[in-house]
Amino acid sequence: MAALRRRWIGILILVGALYAVPVLVDHPYTLHVLTVALIYGVLASSVNLSLGYAGMLSMGHMGFAGIGAYTMAILVQRLSFPYWLAFLSGVVLAGLAGIAVGVPSVKLRRSSFVIVTLAFGIIMHLFFNNLDDLTGGAVGLPDVPRPPALQLGSWAVDFTSNTTFYFLVATTAIVVVGMLHLIARSGFGHLLVSIREDEELALMRGVNVKLYKVVCLGISAGLAGVGGMLLGSYLRVVAPMSFEFRASIDVVLITVLGGVGTLAGPLLGAGLFVALPEYLRITNELRLVIFGLILVVLILYSPQGLMKVVEAAIGKVSPGRAGRHHNGDSVTRVGYHG
């Protein structure tokens, strides 16, 4: 019980810190870095759902993110949809794209699934880049709106300021991680893990493996859409560059860096991936050279990611946490053997 309470206190402190940053640090650059990191955290969390819980490695997740972002931008700009209705449509369409990709591909061998999602991501990028009339071609769609002001009685929250938009992004990240937590603890989540661990066994026990995998990919793609729309709204532009094949690799990398199948891992990974190089003042290329190497070393020596390293460190400090792996909810955090 003490361990559990300590865990909740830890989560509360983290959430509090997330919200306190703009109040404590009046520094636009820090805010920018954190906003981008949290958006990538959302994108990585969506990868985490399909990869970490159901064992489906998608190399085309930015394709889903792009579908969400372009849907939202086009609906708002061309058809004058209200922002949040367009946002919701973006989530739904990205989710449907996930289902459409999932239906024919989840029954394939794992290697083929990787390739199909990769091909999907590349095809989507080619569409974004070449359907000039619809997507604005290589330039993309400029002047993507921020969400409208939120009216709470006489108090209005206006998202055009980067500070308030940060709160929106932070809240979304917390909600997404909370959602993943609930999914992981639910019967659905346990079935996903059982599929990841042994698909044959799950099939024999009568689990509708295909259905669960498709639904999982659909939710994951919808979440990627959320990430894509936040990115578009924040940068005020939706352009094909954001949804490249290598961006899809980046989000997988972030997930693995932080820890596949752990809740906080993707946020940790995104923080390191986005923030560290900004502050070390190294070029983007050198950053990717270093992260590429780190990834290889990590996969060789600690395939469960940095979260595992952090947990082990915390476990050494406070014995209460080390025992957690043996209690009830350990099923969602058992080692990832992909």
Partner 1 sequence: MGSLIAEQVFNGVMMASVYALIATGLVLIFGVMRVFNFAHGEFVMVGAYVTTFVFAATRNYFLAILAAMAALAVMGVIAERAVFRRLRSLHGQVIAASGLLLFFQNLAVLLWGPHALRTPVPYRTMIVNVLGFTVSVQRLLVVGISLVIMLLLFLFLHKTRLGTAIRATAQSQDAAYVVGIDVDRVHVVVFAISAALAGLAGALIGPLFLTYPTMGSLPLLKGLAAVIVGGMDSIVGAILASLLIGITESISTMFISSGFKDAVAFFMLVVVLVVRPRGIFGSAVRGE
Query: Could you tell me the smallest distance in angstroms from the CB atom of residue 298 to partner 1?
Result: 8
Strand 237-238, strand 150-152: pairing: unpaired
Write phi, then psi, for 9 (nearest 5 degrees): -60, -45
Query: Could you tell me the smallest distance in angstroms from the CB atom of residue 26 to partner 1?
Result: 34
Provide the residue count of the chain.
338
Q: What CA–CA distance (Å, rounded) separates 195 from 337?
A: 12
Q: What CA–CA distance (Å, rounded) separates 117 from 283?
A: 30
Query: Could you tell me the smallest distance in angstroms from the CB atom of residue 256 to partner 1?
Result: 5
Output 9 or 286, the one with its CB closest to partner 1: 286
Query: Could you tell me the smallest distance in angstroms from the CB atom of residue 88 to partner 1?
Result: 28
Output 24 or 297, the one with its CB closest to partner 1: 297
Region class of 56: left (phi > 0), else alpha (psi between -120 and 50), else beta: beta
- Amino acid letter, residue 186: S
Query: Could you tell me the smallest distance in angstroms from the CB atom of residue 61 to partner 1?
Result: 13
Output 89 or 105, the one with its CB closest to partner 1: 105
Output 11 or 122, the one with its CB closest to partner 1: 122
Output 13 or 297, the one with its CB closest to partner 1: 297
Pair 165, 35: CB distance under 8 Å? yes
Q: Around 189, how many Cα atoms within 13 Å sit in the side-chain half-sphere?
A: 20
Interaction site with partner 1 (CB under 8 A): 51, 55, 57, 59, 104-105, 107-112, 114-116, 118-120, 122-123, 126-127, 129-130, 245-246, 249, 252-253, 256, 283-289, 291-296, 299-300, 303, 337-338
Residue 45's closest CA among 283, 338, 254, 324? Answer: 254
